[in-house]
Structure 1
Amino acid sequence: MNAAAERLSDREVGERLKLAREEAGKTQADAASVIGAARTTVVAIEKGQRRIRIDELQKLAAAYGTSANAILRREAVQLSLAPQFRRLSESEDDAVGTSSRLLNDLVTAELELENALGIHRERRYPPERPILPGDNRAVVSQAEADAQDLRDWLGIGPGPIGDIVSVLDLQLGIRVYLCPLNSKISGLFAYDPRAGACMLLNALHPRSRLMTTAAHELGHFISSRTEPEVLTESSLFVSREERYANSFSRGFLTPSRAVRQRFQDITAGHSHLTRRHIILLAHAFGVAREAMVRRLEELGLARRGTWDWFQANGGITDEQARQVLGDIPSRHFSASETGVQLPPRLALLAGEAWKRGIYSEGQLVRLLHLDRYSVRALLDSAAAEEGEEDDLVKLPR
């Protein structure tokens, strides 16, 4: 391929500059001030009507927190994801913004490395199921049915889902990232035609909460994957989309038939529902104890108000759970493992790109938004694995 074919067009450069500017929160007037030009000049550059000079490109890239090389690389990707949020009522805007930028950075880096390595990530998306007209009961009914249909489509069967992240990533081809986030952020979902469906989940949250968040975002993916909106649990009005996602999550993680069967097995011979029953059921399905009781109430397996009764009588504590289950890790990562880290697949792509000489250490520092020490540790690991390579373990092509 010749150099002319490799070079980006003025329009492509302009589009990338516009996305970089918007991601950096800058206006066209800000950009014009950086290069000492009129705003109309910036408008023309972003539309591809005026070729940008190299000194202007360098100044704008620096102002946008990127580099001229990143803007001009053919395999480079510029995204501006608009995530849907799953967050608590007291979430702060700066925490939301930080998490959104992190998701955008991770997806952008992964896409660029895939382009550089010639890798195409396969998507196995089921058809979208728009929410049908009807009252709240109709929304709940559809969500339950859609959740069961997806389980059938995936071939999961009626039992509990042990690892929902593997289901999302390996079976559906959704980009899933588990990273330490602000404790007030549960997760984000975004969709982009180039990147596909993307999720960022809080690795600091307990497994049960992470499972519920992932299933909730999966509900948005099934029903309205291309329609981003910010959703908060504190909203006085619960949208149909949010009601659907909540019901989908319950139906997907705790399908009625499986719950009824496990409930019968665990409570056989007992006359009352006990804390031990709830702890065992919640653990079996990987959900929170409150979520399990609410589901039992919903299915008519427990009286309405059962959870409130337990709460009024001492609750169901973590210590009681430990007495029943023993010491079982409650998180995907321990506290010592939750520093700056890359998702495993992204780390593998970065190591491979470095081994092939496509990216230097410095380029990876900028692309991955990591410090040089963290990138060096990643590359040392890749180099150690390369030293173990042998024809016996070479992948057939």
Structure 2
Amino acid sequence: MDDTSVGERLRIARESARTTQAEAADTIGVARTTLIAIEKGQRRIRTHELQKLASLYGMSANALLRSEAVHLDLIPRFRKLMQSAEDDVLDAVKLLNDLVCSEVELEDALGVRRQLSYPPERPLLPGNVRAQAEQDAQELRDWLGLGSGPCFDIISILELQIGIRVFLRPLPPKISGLFAYDERAGACMLLNSNHPPERTVQTALHELAHFISARRQPEALLSEKEHNSRDEVYANAFARCFLTPARAVRQRFAELTAGQSRLTRRHIILLAHAFGVSREAVTRRLEELGLAKRGTWDWFIANGGISDEQVRQVVGDGSERSVDAFKPRGPIPPRIALLATEAWKQGLYSEGQLSSLLGISRFDIRALVDENGNEEGEADELFKLS
């Protein structure tokens, strides 16, 4: 590996470990200017210096220099975005960084090349950002071939149709999700699997909005975050508009309330069921579109709300479409599971190496390999790939 590549990996490792240049220079007994030269590839690092820096950064020299290892600088980018980022946020960013690096490394090992065909970027323009969000959301639906109909499996749309790398892992309660874009890895997203499905879907669409409007700017969605900026207003509006397109909501509302003079709980339940969103979300959307008076949802809450039992009485047991469609997954996405299994079958990685690479136990790796092996064993010659 050339000195420039080694220096770049050292810089990324140092910033990921939240270590300053001065601290790193002091560790190997050189001036800060010398460390800068090493990171720029202008001065070759010596073996004992490499070992000391690797120890300081909490990794092995082998992990730093392995030719097949992938090193991305998502963490430094987030740190520059959030100068006062807390440890929980930086830990989540490191997790996203590690997961993306692992997937890209498996792709490289198997000779897989992802073809990125993202929808066009739509930077924020002067004027009403909510109106732009409505238009951009519908244009993306048209690009995906969804039209104005309901869509219930948002995660699959992000992964399979748009091509975003999506990971679901348990995160601290205040962290809803992270989004980042890398020129090599493409767009990637980490969502909090501890949150309720409807909230996770909202987070996914919120981060999708940032991908549409400013994809090269990393974003962390926190529960206490201020939502007054134009970027955040746009992202929240985009999520609502994508799930509940205005024309489709107006049309279904007109069908359900034809000949009636009062908005009832039954109307809200049926609309929420039709679009796979919560009762509150659809009521707020009706208020936003002027189909219900402002304060309608607050009135329902003050007068007993809309209970799950009332929902079951109206639409039966399959009452929560959005929850039903949000299928639970294991700690790694299905696609990575297939890549990992194939890499193990070809002898490219051992179970222990896959366990370290993906950050899961050997037991989980063994279960993954066995599951995929059993499925292949059931297939006969008719399903053999050429």
The answer to whether the superposition gives a TM-score over 0.5 is yes
Residue 72 (structure 1) shift: 2.1
Match of 2:155 among 150, 156, 165: 165
Q: Go from structure 1 to structure 2 and tell me whether the alpha carbon gap of 1:318 and 1:35 turns closer, same or farther (over 3 Å shift).
A: farther
Could you say which residue in structure 2 is the equivalent of 1:102?
Answer: 95
What is the match of residue 81 of structure 2? none
Aligned-pair distance for 1:131? 0.9
Q: CA separation in 2, counterparts of 1:232 and 1:217? A: 12
The question of 1:14 aligning with 2:7 is answered yes
Aligned-partner SS, 2:74 = coil
Q: CA deviation at 1:255?
A: 0.5
Deviation at 1:333, TM superposition (A): 5.5
Which segment drifts farther, 150-159 or 263-272?
263-272
1:348: which partner in 2?
Answer: 338
Question: Judging changes above 3 Å, is the alpha-carbon distance between structure 1 residues 273 and 157 closer, same or farther for their aligned structure 2 residues?
Answer: same
1:63 is the counterpart of 2:56: yes
Q: 1:292 aligns with which of 260, 268, 282?
A: 282
Q: Secondary structure at the match of 2:290?
A: coil
CA RMSD of aligned residues (A): 2.6
Of 226-235 and 150-159, the range deviating more from structure 2: 226-235
Output the CA distance in 2 between the equivalents of 1:234 and 1:182. 13
- Deviation of residue 36 (structure 1)? 4.6
User: Which amino acid counterpart does residue 194 of structure 1 have in structure 2?
Assistant: R
User: What residue in structure 1 maps to residue 67 of structure 2?
Assistant: 74
Partner of 1:326: 317
Aligned residue number for residue 208 of structure 1:
198
Change (3 A) 1:196 1:344: same
1:13 touches 1:72 (CA, 8 Å); kept in 2? yes
Provide the residue aligned with 2:235 in structure 1: 245
Equivalent residue, structure 1, for 2:207: 217
Alignment counterpart, residue 129 of structure 2, candidates 118, 135, 139: 139
Q: CA deviation at 1:119?
A: 0.8
> What does the per-residue CA deviation read over 1:311-346, in whole Å, with 9 as the maximum and x for residues that have no partner?
111222334334444265737466xx77xx211111
Distance in 2 between the 1:231 and 1:185 partners? Answer: 6
Task: Give the C-alpha shift of residue 51 in structure 1.
Answer: 2.3
Identity of paired residues, percent?
64
CA displacement, residues 144-193 of structure 1 (integer Å, 9 cap, x when unaligned)? 11111111111112110121112111111111112232233222111111
Residue type of the partner of 1:184? K
Residue by residue, what CA displacement relative to the aligned partner does 1:171-226 show, whole Å, maximum 9, x if unpaired? 11111112232233222111111111111122232332222222211111111111
CA distance in 1, matches of 2:40, 2:195: 44
Q: Distance in 1 between matches of 2:13 and 2:181?
A: 18
**Helix, strand or coil at the partner of 1:157:** coil
Check the 8 A contact 1:28/1:43 in 2, yes or no: yes
Please state if 1:260 is matched with 2:238.
no
Q: TM-score, normalised by structure 1?
A: 0.86
Distance 1:369 1:59 in 2: 24
Match of 1:89 in 2: none
Alpha-carbon contact 1:146-1:248 (below 8 Å) kept: yes
- Quote how far apart the aligned CAs of 1:227 are: 2.2
User: Which amino acid counterpart does residue 133 of structure 1 have in structure 2?
Assistant: P
Deviation at 1:50, TM superposition (A): 2.5
DSSP 3-state at the match of 2:166: strand
| TM superposition shift of 1:15 | 0.4
Structure 2 unaligned spans of 5+ = 79-84
Query: Relative to structure 1, is the Cα distance of residues 250 and 204 closer, same or farther in structure 2, using a 3 angstrom cutoff?
Result: same
Give me the whole-angstrom Cα distance separating, in 1, the residues matched to 2:176 and 2:359.
Answer: 22
Tell me the secondary structure at the aligned position of residue 227 of structure 1: coil
Aligned pair 1:123/2:116, yes or no? yes
Structure 1 position 177 matched with structure 2 position 167: yes
Q: Deviations over 1:234-289 (max 9, x none)?
A: 45561111111111112111001111122233334543222232122122212222
Count of aligned pairs between the two proteins = 376
- Give the whole-Å Cα distance in 1 for the aligned partners of 2:273 and 2:170: 23
Structure number with the bigger relative contact order (C-alpha 8 A, sep ≥ 6) is: 1
Q: Which residue does 2:82 correspond to in 1?
A: none
Cα gap change, 1:152/1:383 in structure 2, threshold over 3 Å: closer, same or farther?
closer
Equivalent-residue separation in structure 1 for 2:95 and 2:108 (angstroms): 20
In 2, distance between residues paired with 1:318 and 1:205? 19
The AA in structure 2 aligned to 1:171 is Q
Q: 1:372 aligns with which of 348, 362, 372?
A: 362
- Cα distance in 2 between the residues matched to 1:289 and 1:93: 34
**Cα distance in 2 between the residues matched to 1:277 and 1:242:** 30
Give the AA of the match of 2:197: R
1:308, distance to aligned residue in structure 2 (A): 1.2
SS at match of 2:179: strand
CA change 1:286–1:61 in 2 (3 A) is farther
SS at match of 1:183: coil
Structure 1 unpaired stretches of 5+: 1-7, 85-91
